[in-house]
């Protein structure tokens, strides 16, 4: 069986519906704000002290790659334009914010949240454009962007490594849903696609950005290139572990065919800090690295942990919602509606069972991140 996969539908964060919507969005906002703090100080410093103000006569162009539909994108656009506006030589300029993502991204959902369009009380001081396409290819004209950002996207691969989906090869990713915990050969196939994608990303941005333009990013990452099979440092922290376990249980019980699990692969690979540095600097260093940082086990706390983790049932629901939002469309496309329901029920049940253990250790929610701020040479 071949995984029905196209980049367009699998990566989008699903907006929650109904009763959960308000709570989940508020939590998402809170989580994102915490993670933004990894980048903001270095970004402010670079924009104020290293961004050349010689932007010519036209507007200042800012782009967010992998903008998705949510609050993070708008908050970063507001943050960056506020900083640039504070520079006296730029205060009279027009700012254009380009929101870029895969063509299937629901740009309208994002647009409806813009300040002045129902999202927030502030007036919007910048113009907006939606740009469909893949960040692993050119999306903008040569030397047209002054500031660019990409947050929580560089761990997404441009494609599923073809080798890991080929049953006849030893690197076939049998019984696993991602690179994490797989055999070294399988993981190396993931790393190779990641390496090529990262290189392409920085190559394309180098062409699109003006000299002295500023590029900021962060994504889940690894400390170094050793042990790429350890994509996440602790199985117990990530829902993926329980997800794989739940799927395997349904296979063992004969509810889901083994091959359906074997042929499913998440197109995700967390890059290490040295892999990122290599992609930025080789073959030709086109960016000056201002900061390149690894943050180990960044602790994230959901907005209303008291409610979300108040008992096993609430915890199970919360974890299931998180899983649905992240990987829901990709999994349901592969499994079909009914098995997907069973899968989510089993995951919820296993999360509930896991509750006492998680409670005992204070509901650890850690992610390690790579972040950086670059200046185009
Ligand atoms: C986890 S979301 C991050 C959204 C937002 N940047 C944030 O920080 O909240 C990942 C986003 O990356 C986008 N994405 C994944 N692969 C992409 C690609 N090849 N080109 C452009 N966008 C991509 C997805 O569509 C999705 O909107």
Question: pLDDT tens, 299-344?
Answer: 877 667 778 889 999 999 988 988 887 788 888 888 888 999 999 9
Tell me which residue of 225, 244, 217, 230 sits closest to 64, measured CA to CA.
217
145/43 Cα distance (integer angstroms): 16
Lowest mean pLDDT, pick from 14-23, 81-90, 142-151: 14-23
> Given ligand 1 and candidates 11, 31, 326, which is best to mutate, with the most ligand atoms within 8 Å of its CB?
11
Cβ–ligand 1 distance for 182 under 6 Å, the answer: no
Question: What is the arithmetic mean of pLDDT over 357-363?
Answer: 86
Q: Is 1 inside any structural domain?
A: no
What pLDDT sits at residue 6? Answer: 47
Number of C-beta neighbours around residue 289 at 10 A: 14
Q: Is 276 inside any structural domain?
A: yes
Cβ–ligand 1 distance for 178 under 6 Å, the answer: no
- Give the count of domains, the chain: 1
Q: Is 339 inside any structural domain?
A: no
Q: Across all residues in the chain, what is the average pLDDT?
A: 87
105/184 Cα distance (integer angstroms): 33
Q: Is 246 inside any structural domain?
A: no
For ligand 1, the distance from its centroid to the CA atom of residue 67, given in whole angstroms, is 6
Across-strand partners of 292?
A: 372
What pLDDT sits at residue 254? Answer: 94
Cβ–ligand 1 distance for 7 under 6 Å, the answer: yes
Question: What is the arithmetic mean of pLDDT over 50-64?
Answer: 84
Cβ–ligand 1 distance for 102 under 6 Å, the answer: yes
CATH classification at residue 140: 3.40.50.150
Q: Is 201 inside any structural domain?
A: yes
The residue range of the domain holding 296 is 19-233+265-304+363-376
For ligand 1, the distance from its centroid to the CA atom of residue 134, given in whole angstroms, is 9
Q: Is 249 inside any structural domain?
A: no
In this prediction, residue 204 has a pLDDT band, given cuts at 50, 70 and 90, of: very high
Lowest mean pLDDT, pick from 40-44, 154-158, 241-245, 276-280: 241-245
What pLDDT sits at residue 52? Answer: 77
What pLDDT sits at residue 269? Answer: 94
Q: Is 9 inside any structural domain?
A: no
Global confidence as pTM: 0.90
Question: What is the arithmetic mean of pLDDT over 63-67?
Answer: 97
Whether the predicted pLDDT of 9 surpasses 50: no
Q: Is 55 inside any structural domain?
A: yes
Cβ–ligand 1 distance for 105 under 6 Å, the answer: yes
pLDDT tens-digit map of 141-158: 999 999 999 999 999 999
Task: Report which ligand 1 atom has the smallest distance to the Cα of 67.
Answer: 6
> Given ligand 1 and candidates 5, 29, 33, 66, which is best to mutate, with the most ligand atoms within 8 Å of its CB?
66
The top-scoring range by mean pLDDT among 113-122, 218-227, 269-278 is: 269-278
């Amino acid at each position: 069986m071949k995984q029905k996969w196209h980049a367009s539908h699998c990566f989008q964060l699903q907006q929650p519906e109904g009763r959960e919507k308000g709570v989940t969005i508020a939590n998402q906002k809170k989580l994102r704000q915490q993670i933004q703090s990894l980048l903001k100080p270095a970004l402010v410093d670079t924009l104020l002290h290293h961004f050349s103000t010689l932007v010519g006569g036209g507007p200042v162009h800012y782009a967010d790659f992998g903008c998705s539909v949510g609050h993070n994108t708008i908050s970063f656009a507001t943050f960056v334009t506020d900083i640039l506006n504070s520079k006296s030589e730029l205060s009279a300029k027009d700012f254009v914010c380009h929101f870029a993502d895969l063509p299937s991204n629901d740009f309208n959902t994002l647009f409806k949240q813009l300040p002045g369009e129902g999202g927030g009380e502030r007036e919007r001081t910048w113009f907006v454009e939606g740009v469909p396409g893949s960040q692993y290819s050119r999306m903008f004209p040569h030397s047209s962007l002054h500031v660019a950002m990409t947050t929580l996207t560089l761990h997404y691969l441009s494609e599923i490594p073809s080798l890991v989906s080929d049953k006849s090869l030893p690197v076939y990713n049998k019984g696993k849903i991602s690179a994490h915990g797989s055999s070294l050969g399988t993981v190396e196939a993931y790393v190779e696609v990641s390496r090529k994608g990262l290189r392409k990303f920085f190559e394309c941005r180098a062409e699109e950005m003006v000299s002295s333009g500023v590029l900021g990013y962060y994504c889940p990452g690894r400390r170094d290139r050793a042990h790429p099979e350890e994509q996440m440092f602790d199985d117990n922290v990530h829902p993926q572990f329980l997800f794989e376990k739940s799927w395997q249980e349904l296979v063992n019980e004969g509810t889901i065919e083994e091959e359906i699990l074997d042929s499913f692969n998440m197109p995700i690979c967390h890059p290490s800090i040295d892999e990122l540095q290599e992609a930025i600097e080789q073959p030709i260093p086109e960016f000056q690295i201002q900061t390149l940082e690894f943050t180990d086990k960044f602790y994230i706390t959901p907005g209303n942990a008291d409610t979300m983790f108040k008992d096993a049932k609430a915890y199970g629901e919360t974890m299931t919602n998180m899983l649905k939002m992240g990987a829901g469309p990709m999994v349901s496309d592969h499994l079909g509606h009914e098995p997907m329901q069973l899968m989510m029920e089993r995951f919820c049940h296993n999360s509930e069972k896991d509750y006492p253990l998680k409670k005992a250790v204070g509901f650890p929610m850690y992610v390690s991140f790579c972040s950086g701020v670059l200046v185009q040479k």
